[in-house]
Structure 1
Amino acid sequence: MLQVWRGTDRYRGGDEAAGIDTRHAFSFSGFYDPDNVGFGQLVACNEERLAPGAGFPEHPHRDVEIVTWVVEGELEHIDSTGRTSRVRAGDVQRMGAGSGVRHIERNAGSGPLCFVQMWLVPGSFGSGTDGQSGSREPEYEVVHGIADGTPFAVPHTEAMMHVRRLADGERTAVPDAAWVYVHVVRGVAEIGSGPADEDEASPGGAERERLSAGDAARITDARDLEARGAGGPVEMLMWEMQAEPGYG
């Protein structure tokens, strides 16, 4: 089943006076919808827009894997383990909160900053590498300039992110998986199966869905699907997930 969630229907958050505009795909912070709390192991997909100098003061996380994709600008990260970094467009950042970590995120550049931040619940919630709840030390990594098509596996989960950049009319396979989440970062894409002719439906009667920047597709039991650029360059983040969160 393929369900489209439009970017215009995201929950709006942030602090306009502080230069922060946040758009939530799932229940988050002060927004709660019992029918929209996550998909597979993904429990947050936030589009963040920060004005120069704006940011999030030091705050805590634990038992969550946080993956950040910078769309435009420069993101500064500082955390309680002493790590600092500058993350730029095309870079992917992962912070494994483990037993607990505090961090600061802010716009370190002179222009606007836009990034997509995605949170995943580990496959075994609260478990460390030694099997003791909450015992895993925080982890951090940045991949600079990740290449198109390079899979990014998230440790402690059964999730993998694929970066896809397509020209107009170019196609790529959607991963076969129990749960697939596709977020369109920029451009326009079509997702479906079968012929690319706009007048034809996909086999089985399922028509292709057209997604613009900010839109997302949530697909369960994905099989034999493809995505194609539909009018200029398109950039997508595809999450391939084989499990839901585990608690224990």
Structure 2
Amino acid sequence: MGMAVYAASDRSSSAEVGRLTRHSFSFGPHYDPTNLGFGPLVCHNDDVLAAGAGYPDHPHSELEIVTWVLEGTLVHTDSTGAQHVVEAGRVQVLSAGSGIRHSEVADARLGGCRFVQAWLAPSVPGREPAYVLGEAPQPASGLVEVAGGDGLPIGTSGARLLVARLAPGDAITLPEDPRQHVFAATGAVSLEGLELRDGDAVRVDDEPGRVVRASEETELLVWSFG
């Protein structure tokens, strides 16, 4: 593959009352046999919710579900009886394991919410469900591991989610792993001559350590697979 760009304008989308979801991979009725996943990553959704809207109670099993909140506040409730408030700049990991039910809605008191959610295949099936919520990482000049590695634990071996908040002119080097999924959540960057803007992604599976440079303020999300 080398490097392949997936433009935001080419993503399929699903709309419900108070909710718009853009899908990076084949998802539900938007079936695409040529775009079923990237390594263990089988879903990468970009959700915008109106206040009080979202996903009512529904089941999951055998998935590692990682959510990064970009704007607003997301309220997570699950069948273990737990309720968590996930603010912008925080990450949650739900290990669905043998089965769990949960809901996710934008806090009705605080307005809308935007988040990016990834689903990954677990390395070991049948585990007990688990949930963990991380603190917001401090802004840094480079990529910060928020899940996997030194971040929150993920039940998918070798998977890491890294986030960078970049000012114009900032440059970062992608991890030394065989595969990366690079997503410009906001802003604009260049990657070895490829230009990415809000919602664009590039999948890299050839040469690790490529350089990304921001041309404006950018929030960059990188899934890296060792």
TM-score (norm 1): 0.84
For the residue of structure 2 that corresponds to 1:223, the secondary structure is coil
Residue in 2 that maps onto 1:189: 189
Distance, in Å, in 2 between the alignment partners of 1:185 and 1:218 is: 15
Which residue does 1:102 correspond to in 2?
101
- Partner residue of 1:234? 218
Identical columns (%): 40
Per-residue CA deviation, residues 112-135 of structure 1 (Å, 9 max, x unaligned), is 2111111111134x2xxxxxxx2x
> What stretches of structure 2 of length at least 5 have no aligned partner?
none
Could you tell me which amino acid in structure 2 is paired with residue 189 of structure 1? V
Q: TM-score, normalised by structure 2?
A: 0.91
Whole-Å Cα distance in 1 between the matches of residues 133 and 213 of structure 2?
Answer: 28
State how far apart, in whole Å, the 2-side matches of 1:122 and 1:222 are: 26
- 1:172 has 2:166 as partner: no
**Gapped regions of structure 1 (runs ≥ 5):** 127-133, 193-207, 243-248
2:133 is equivalent to residue 142 of structure 1: yes
Superposed CA deviations along residues 65-112 of structure 1, whole A, max 9, x for unmatched, are 001011111100000011111101100111000111000110114322
Q: Following the alignment from structure 2 to structure 1, what is the Cα–Cα distance between the partners of residues 96 and 104?
A: 15
Q: Is the 8 A contact 1:175 1:222 kept in 2?
A: no
- How far is the alpha carbon of 1:237 from its aligned partner? 0.7
User: Which 4+ stretches in 1 moved above 6 angstroms?
Assistant: none
After TM superposition, give the deviation of residue 221 of structure 1 in Å: 2.6
Paired letter, 1:20: R
Larger Rg: 1
Q: Which amino acid aligns with 1:80?
A: S
Distance apart, 1:146 and its partner CA: 1.8
Q: Is the 8 A contact 1:168 1:233 kept in 2?
A: yes
Q: Counterpart of 1:35 in 2: which secondary structure?
A: coil
Equivalent runs, 1:60-209 vs 2, <5 Å: 60-108=59-107, 109-124=109-124, 126=125, 134=126, 136-147=127-138, 148=140, 149-151=143-145, 152-153=147-148, 154-157=153-156, 158-192=158-192, 208-209=193-194
